[in-house]
Amino acid sequence: ERVPEISKVEPQPSPSASAAPLPVAPTQPIQKSPPKVAPVVEKTAQIYWLKDSGELIAVPVKIKSPESDDRSETVLNGAIETLLNGSPDQTLTTTIPQGTQLRSLTVKPDGIHIDLSAAFTTGGGSASMMGRLGQVLYTATSIDPSAPVFLSVGGQPLETLGGEGLMLDQPMTRQVFEKEFTLNSTP
């Protein structure tokens, strides 16, 4: 009588111990690991600085972004942030006022939407205003040169820039900028 009892008890714990917990344990880490190990790639963006002559110069900068990011938002955000931090090279300058911050940058079907802090519009004459506008516009469109850019400051569309009131059409494009303003640029 004791032998059959032991044989009945053994089969019950062994399927439940091996079947239930084991398949559950390996599947959870497998589901969690891909986001942690998302491949990060370096993408190149062009950041536009000014030479003393007033010429826009493109400087390539590598920016890390998730491989899955095909909308370029991460790269453009990194490029504009780098631009706002000031030139690393003494021969290249910026007319963007110190303290200007990138409030947001989104890539939408109708173009690139950039919102900067109010510091962007402070100080400088018309040449300075054209320079900073060109720097932001060309840097933002370094991945897609034909992309339209909607520029706002403090959440409001930027229609005039500076005390002399440079009139801006929204969205802006490189073609419009080249036609209306007199900065030179080298791709």
Res. 11: pLDDT tops 70: no
pLDDT band at 62 (very low <50, low <70, confident <90, very high): confident
**Predicted model pTM:** 0.71
CA angle 167, 110, 67 (to 5 degrees): 120
- Cα 114 to Cα 10, 21, 53, 107, 108: the distances in Å are 68, 51, 27, 9, 11
Of residues 19 and 63, more confidence is placed in 63
pLDDT category, 69, cuts 50, 70, 90? low
Task: Say if residue 107 is exposed, middle or buried (CB neighbours under 10 Å; 0-12, 13-18, 19+).
Answer: buried
- Average the pLDDT over 154-177 and give the result: 83
% of the chain beyond a pLDDT of 90: 33
Give the residues across from 114 on adjacent strands: 105, 151
Q: What is the pLDDT at residue 108?
A: 92
